[in-house]
Every structure is written in C-alpha cells, then in structure tokens.
C-alpha cells in the first residue's frame, strides 16, 4: 500500500513545487493570511474534501475518512510569512514588498495539500480518518495553534504528527527527539527612566544609557552563574534604543530580548533573577524602571511512543536517514497540540543543493531544497497511514 502512495506522491511532486512557488510569491503576515487561507480552502473544495475555514481565526481544517475502521490522526502545516524583504535572485521571489516566506511555511503547506490529495484518492483502501490542520500565525505569539484547538480542531484526534523543513539539515535526513525538542520562547522589554541633560554636565543627570549598558552585562550572569550548567537556557538582548543627539544624555533607554528554556523551573528562576538584577542595577544608578516579561509558546515535548514510531517509519523509507537530533532553542506553537494529544514534531532536512552558503531561517536569502517536501510527505504519509491502521504492529519497510 505504501509503495503505491509513495509512487502517487512522486508523480505529484511537480504540483508540490508549483504550489510552494506560488505561495512563496504571495506571502502574507501572521493574522493577515486571508488570501492564503482562501487558496487552501479552495484546493480542498475542488477535490470534494470536507473542509472548514475560519477555525480559530484564519485556520483551515480538512477531513478525509478512510474506507476501513481505524484511528484518527492529525497532520499540521503552518502558512504565515515574515516581515522580511526577499533578496533571493530566483523566478519565484516574493512579489510582496517587505514580506517573505523565510521559514519554509510555504513548503509545509504545499506538502500537506498534495499529501491530502493522495490520501483522498486512495481513501477507500485506507483505515481510520485524517485531519489536515492548516494553521495561521505560527510566527507571532500567542499564535494560531491555541485558538484552533479551542475551536475544536483536535476533537476526536488520537495522535498528531508535524514537521518543519529545516534548511541547515542535509536533505534526506529526518531529525527526531523524544521529550523536549524545542524551547519555550519568551520575550521581555525593560525601560530605564533616568534624568536627561547636557552631555557636558553628566553630574547633573542620571544617565539611562550607562545604566542600561550595565544591565546588559549584569543580565548575562543569570545564565552563566544562576542557571544549572546542565540545563540549556538562553537570555539574548536583541534591541537597545536610546538617545536623540550626541551631546544629550538620554532620559530613557529601552532594551528588549528573548529567553529560551526547556522547563518551567528554569523559566521561573530566570524571571526572578532578572527582576532582582534590574532592581539592583537601577537602585545603584538612582533610576527607576519598568519590566515586562511575556511568556510565549511552551516547549515542544514529544511523546516517547509516537516519536520512536515516527523514527521507525522514516528509517523504512528508501533514501531517508533518521537521526536523533539535539534539542533546539527555537520555539514552535506545535507544543500546544502535544499538550492535548499524543504525537511528535520532527525536522525534515532541506539544505539546498548549492556550492554557496546555506542561509538560515529568517534570513533574506533563505530558501529550501524543494526535494525535501517529497521526503516530508512520504514520512508523514507513512506515519499517519500506518498509525491509523490499528492492525499494524510496526511500520512497514518500503522496498527500494
């Protein structure tokens, strides 16, 4: 059965590429993906697949019912873009100024749409049911996963599988991990209120830039001296804004950044230590402050049985190498799905075939190896089709 499904996917690969390139040219930012959602809805509608729009916002959910009894499995793809100017020199370059699919979500969407088409064409011989979740707003907290779940996208679902095309991982590789795989992604901003004045009379001021600069250094001690070195954690200052002229001592300074952790204990420790250090640094400078900490997505924690099952499915696919990867401190709101049902999230290697540099995610020249979409489709197909079939005890080895 899998051999036939894989052959159908291979024969539909060019359609995958065409969909991905179309979406790449017309990206839409988080919470504004109206045309993309319409495109996805229309694709399913033309195939006669049951589909609903406006799920938890711009989300789209389709359902395919197999001809035999079995489990219900969900597959998820996100479809929002980023506020980045596309700098690639390719025919499918973004046509929307300042907006770009710089994280592979266009590829995720193309992969799931074509896979759904193949499942629909073969549904009479398949067991169980398939829920195709097309999620909006993955890139911006609070994200699209949570409202889609609240709107019922996981109702009746027994397991969920999802993947992220990963441009820095060799194509042909599936990277999986049991337990914590991706980090909680939090954000913060701190404003220092000093007392501005003339640059030639610093003794009559409370220099907010000096205080904020000391704070940038002091905050680094949390990771190096407060967090257990066995734990993985990151505290990054991403912006520092202050001043209006070279001869004016700034009245205020603002810094912002992100914190990444894999467990709640480390997260709470960092918040507590940040508050203490900010308070102490500002007290020394006789200045006041405001501190806002926003908890973002929780960590992605994969379920053991489903992850090991996914690894076995991937290993049985010709030309695919499954490896146990390291935890990654990037964030993903797929974590919310895993809090409600069993499942796993994995990386599909999508490193471009090029002699030049491989550009990371969120880079203006980011691109993927489109062949990775076919690998992702086969892996999701194998996991979903075999998981829904309760009679199967272990994944089937696909012949070369």
Binding-site residues for Mn(2+) sit at 103, 105, 139, 164, 362
With contact defined as beta carbons under 8 Å apart, do 190 and 215 qualify? Answer: yes
User: Distance (Å, rounded) from C-alpha 253 to C-alpha 190?
Assistant: 8
- Laid out side by side, the sheet with 252-261 consists of 233-242, 252-261, 184-193, 288-297
Name 165's bridge partners: 348
- Cα 23 → chain centroid: 18
Helix (H) or strand (E) holding 52: strand 50-55
User: Distance (Å, rounded) from C-alpha 293 to C-alpha 269?
Assistant: 13
User: Distance (Å, rounded) from C-alpha 322 to C-alpha 275?
Assistant: 43
User: Distance (Å, rounded) from C-alpha 202 to C-alpha 14?
Assistant: 66
Angle between the N-to-C axes of helices 34-47 and 105-121, in degrees from 0 to 180, rounded to the nearest 10? 10
Angle between the N-to-C axes of helices 371-388 and 304-315, in degrees from 0 to 180, rounded to the nearest 10? 120
With contact defined as beta carbons under 8 Å apart, do 194 and 258 qualify? Answer: no
Q: Residue positions in the annotated binding site?
A: 103, 105, 139, 164, 362
User: Distance (Å, rounded) from C-alpha 76 to C-alpha 346?
Assistant: 12
Q: Which of 80, 120, 158, 207 does the annotation list as catalytic?
A: 80
Active site annotation includes 189: no
**Does residue 142 have a cis bond before it (omega within 30 degrees)?**
yes
Upper half-sphere CA count for residue 307 (Cβ side, 13 Å): 20
Cβ of 387: how many Cβ atoms within 10 Å? 25
Tell me the CA distances in angstroms from 116 to 12, 121, 158, 377, 397, one per residue in order: 11, 9, 18, 9, 22
Active site annotation includes 86: no
Q: Which of 138, 251, 273, 332 does the annotation list as catalytic?
A: 138
Tell me the CA distances in angstroms from 228 to 266, 299, 341, one per residue in order: 8, 18, 31
Give the residue numbers marked as catalytic.
Answer: 80, 138
């Amino acid at each position: 059965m899998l051999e036939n499904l894989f052959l159908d996917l291979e024969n539909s690969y060019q359609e995958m590429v065409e969909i991905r390139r179309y979406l790449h040219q017309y990206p839409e930012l988080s919470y504004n993906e109206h045309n993309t959602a319409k495109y996805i809805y229309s694709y399913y509608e033309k195939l006669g697949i049951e589909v609903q729009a406006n799920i938890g916002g711009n989300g789209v959910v389709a359902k395919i019912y197999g001809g035999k009894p079995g489990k219900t499995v969900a597959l998820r793809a996100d479809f929002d873009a980023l506020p980045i100017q596309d700098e690639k020199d390719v025919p499918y370059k973004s046509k929307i100024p300042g907006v770009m699919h710089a994280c592979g979500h266009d590829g995720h969407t193309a992969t799931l749409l074509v896979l759904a088409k193949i499942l629909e064409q073969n549904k009479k011989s398949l067991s169980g049911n398939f829920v195709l979740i097309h999620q909006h707003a993955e890139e911006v907290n609070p994200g699209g996963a949570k409202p889609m779940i609240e709107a019922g996208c996981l109702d009746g679902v027994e397991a969920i599988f999802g993947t992220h095309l990963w441009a820095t991982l060799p194509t042909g590789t599936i990277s999986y991990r049991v337990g914590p795989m991706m980090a909680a992604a939090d954000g913060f901003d701190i404003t220092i209120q000093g007392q501005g004045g003339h640059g030639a009379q610093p003794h009559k001021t409370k220099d907010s830039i000096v205080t904020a600069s000391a704070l940038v250094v002091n905050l680094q001690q949390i990771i190096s001296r407060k967090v257990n070195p066995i734990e993985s954690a990151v505290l990054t200052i991403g912006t520092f804004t202050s001043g209006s002229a070279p001869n004016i001592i700034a009245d205020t300074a603002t810094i912002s950044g992100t914190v990444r952790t894999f467990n709640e204990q480390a997260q709470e420790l960092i918040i507590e230590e940040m508050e203490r250090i900010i308070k102490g640094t500002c007290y020394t400078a006789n200045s006041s402050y405001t501190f806002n900490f926003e908890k973002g997505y929780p960590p992605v924690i994969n379920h053991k049985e489903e992850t090991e099952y996914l690894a076995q499915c991937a290993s049985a696919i010709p030309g695919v190498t499954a490896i146990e990867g390291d935890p990654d401190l990037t964030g993903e709101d797929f974590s919310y799905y895993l809090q409600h049902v069993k499942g796993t999230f994995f990386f599909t290697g999508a490193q471009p075939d090029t002699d030049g540099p491989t550009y990371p995610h969120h880079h203006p020249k980011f691109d993927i190896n489109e062949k990775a979409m076919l690998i992702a489709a086969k892996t999701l197909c194998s996991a979903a089709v075999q998981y829904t079939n309760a009679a199967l005890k272990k994944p089937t080895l696909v012949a070369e």
